[in-house]
Chain A
């Protein structure tokens, strides 16, 4: 047996772990889990654990309901939120078909496939996210804020400091290092910045972080949400992603002699993001509500352009302090925290790599009076139209996920279109 598997078996025994939760996500990024007992661990490593995939969103396909979850022993982690005797641990899983071949609808596999492609070009992909979210009193349909705090506010306006602190402690126990955290611009809105890691680990981390934030909130009797735009009058929640590619041990984005210290490859990567930005938005912003955030006036990106400071630009090139080549990076600002991180990283990477492979020219920034940049899609429907005609997204996601996603999201859009909103009732009912 492999040592990493032996490590898991031994730790389960030594630490009295009673249940091992096998984790994976559906196509929309919802965490799915089933528990096995220690006695089944060896079988799980050897063959995978069988489950019925037909009820999982995006997994269903004719005659393909039987699937296997194969745990990745390097992700074995005892969960910090079950105190007491009954130890619970988790492992992320890869989903395979009964014949052992990877299941095309498994988002984790989709990302691994895209990372493999980057690897063949000599790159490893690093991501550092800023996770924004809201705390509300409960899950009711009218969000009830907990504070009136603003950006960087300290007590007593920031009553949620304690919740944030508990979350960070939980994250650190889970091996997810936190760079910083603060109260965000909107009332009851918070941000936790995670230290960058390779994209696969980071996608796992993000899924774990969302759960940890919600769990800690629940323990305190409140509700945490990653809904992109819960308060109409205030900034929504984004998931700004700091991106870099490393070639061997060198940051491929850094060139000390170049403008903005951005290497040729970094400029091409950004050019790829801008050119394909509209096509990937349905994935990075996958809900009807996501597009209520992507509007002017709320510090959210609306243009497929890049800049140092312009909040409307989808790509920002942060100014790095001192001579730290490893810190040179670009920030992609469109995604929101309710995305599926596996698929989001996949399409972002594909867009950037297309820029490098095809040597795209980086356009001027709007402030340098360049040509007017494309607008990002302003509705889910518009985003789906751009996505549907994109061979880049189709290749990045694979046919199965691509088709299921568009079908599922078109349905969502149709339901939304039929909905008679409060806006209409308040506006029209009294006068028409």
Chain B
């Protein structure tokens, strides 16, 4: 997850806090640099206001308006009175940053950033698949799938309520040139059930001597 950082010479402790929170800081010199978005896009932008309060705020405003990226300001305590009534940023925190606070604030901003396009989201009950990011979640809890588990689950979620023969699943998910035979499907179904957990494992039902069905 990438976070754009302005100005391009952030304090070391801020960089360390970002990395610890699981983000990759990318320093930018100007708003235009945001056009070179990393794969997966920007999670947020962070503007560290040390001097030039006005200049930094105007950069923050541009990022918000022109790029629709959530902006977190890092300010000195003495600056807070000036923030009153200002717009052009999503949230702010005080310098030096607290690592845990930074992580929580970024995560909250991150989840309120522009929603993923509908066609990239597949859902079955409280299970969600984001086909753009390959991530599966139950409620807000991510499930750690291997690639083939993900592909199989995606296939099932795309076609709920329908019974599929093992051979059909094999051909559609693994491809025709796969050698393993349809036992592979059984093995992966069992693995998926294990990962879905006890409560939800029954979502995938075995239709005896036919195959499998989701829901």
Chain A residues proximal to chain B, CB less than 8 Å? 3-4, 6-11, 13-16, 18, 73-78, 80, 85, 87, 119, 124, 126, 171-173, 175-178, 195-198, 201, 246, 248-249, 326
Q: How far is the CB of A396 from chain B (nearest CB, A)?
A: 20
CA distance A350 to B166 in the complex (A): 29
**Which residue in A14, A175, A246 is a CB contact (below 8 Å) of B149?**
A175
Interface check B33, CB cutoff 8 A: no
Q: Which residue of A lies closest to B167 (CB)?
A: A249
State A10–B148 Cα separation when bound (angstroms). 15
Q: Are A74 and B148 in contact (CB under 8 A)?
A: yes
Q: Are B134 and A126 interface neighbours, CB within 8 A? A: no
18 A-B pairs with C-beta separation under 8 A? A4-B147, A7-B134, A7-B150, A10-B133, A16-B1, A74-B147, A85-B20, A119-B179, A124-B179, A172-B197, A175-B145, A175-B194, A177-B190, A177-B193, A195-B187, A196-B187, A198-B180, A246-B181
- With contacts A7-B150, A13-B40, A85-B20 known, is A246 near B183, CB below 8 A? yes
Assess A249 versus B1: contact at CB under 8 Å? Given A16-B22, A177-B190.
no
Decide if B146 touches A74 in the complex (CB within 8 Å): yes
Q: Is A14 a contact partner of B144 (Cβ separation < 8 A)?
A: no
Report the bound CA distance from A74 to B180 in whole Å. 15
Q: How far is the CA of A119 from the CA of B181 in the complex (A)?
A: 11
Chain B residues with CB under 8 Å of chain A are: 1, 20-23, 39-40, 103, 133-135, 142, 144-150, 166-167, 179-184, 187, 190-191, 193-195, 197
| B187/A249 in contact, CB under 8 A | no
Give Cα distance in the complex from A246 to B185, angstroms.
13
Point out the residues of chain B lying under 8 angstroms from A119, CB to CB: 179
Give Cα A246 to B183, complex, Å.
Answer: 8
Shortest CB-to-CB span from A170 to chain B, Å, is 11
Q: Other CB < 8 Å A-B pairs besides A9-B39, A249-B166, A249-B167, 12 of them?
A: A3-B147, A7-B147, A10-B134, A14-B1, A14-B133, A77-B146, A175-B195, A178-B194, A246-B181, A246-B183, A249-B181, A249-B182
Cα of A277 to Cα of B191 in the assembled complex, Å:
33
Tell me the smallest distance from the CB of B167 to a CB of chain A, in Å.
Answer: 7
Flag if A177 contacts B142 (CB, 8 Å). Answer: no
* Pair B195/A173 contact, Cβ less than 8 Å: yes
Residue pair A15, B135 in contact (C-beta under 8 Å)? yes
Report the Cα distance A316→B20, complex, angstroms: 54
Asked if B179 and A15 sit within 8 Å, CB to CB, the answer is no
Considering the chains assembled together, what is the distance between the CA atoms of A194 and B5 in angstroms?
Answer: 48
